Amino acid sequence: MPVPKVLKGRYEIREVLGKGGMGVVYRAFDTTLKRDVALKTILDIADRKALELFHKEYEVLASISHPNIVEIFDLGEFEEERESMPYFVMPLMSGMALDMVIRTSSHRLTVERSVDIISQTCRGLQAAAVVREDFLCGVDERH
């Protein structure tokens, strides 16, 4: 699904950051506020369950203000093959994804660092008061 190069006359799409079972996250540039952002959209608008989960995700995120929950800056829709495709805009976070930290680390994570990561995750989930259906994204479920 090709996304327009500029959304809402404001967000310039720069590159794909990640792709999951439900959506795609892009690096974009907010030309109004002059900052890099992350922009997420859904992969398949025909998948009603995915669309419902996408809407639920941004509604939950937008309703929470917490240091361990990403903030929603904006949301909207763009036209793709005569379908309205939803998207939402979030801060672009620096650093590596946890699975990359674990895979590329020259040493094992210390117990203290592991506890810190799990504590931050739990605080975010507690603030959201929900456990997302795709919480295990990036985990190899074959084992």
Q: Which residues are catalytic?
A: 134
What is the amino acid identity at position 35?
A: R
d(CA 41, CA 85): 7
* Cβ-proximal residues to 48 (8 Å cutoff; 6+ apart), any chain: none
* Cβ-proximal residues to 2 (8 Å cutoff; 6+ apart), any chain: 80
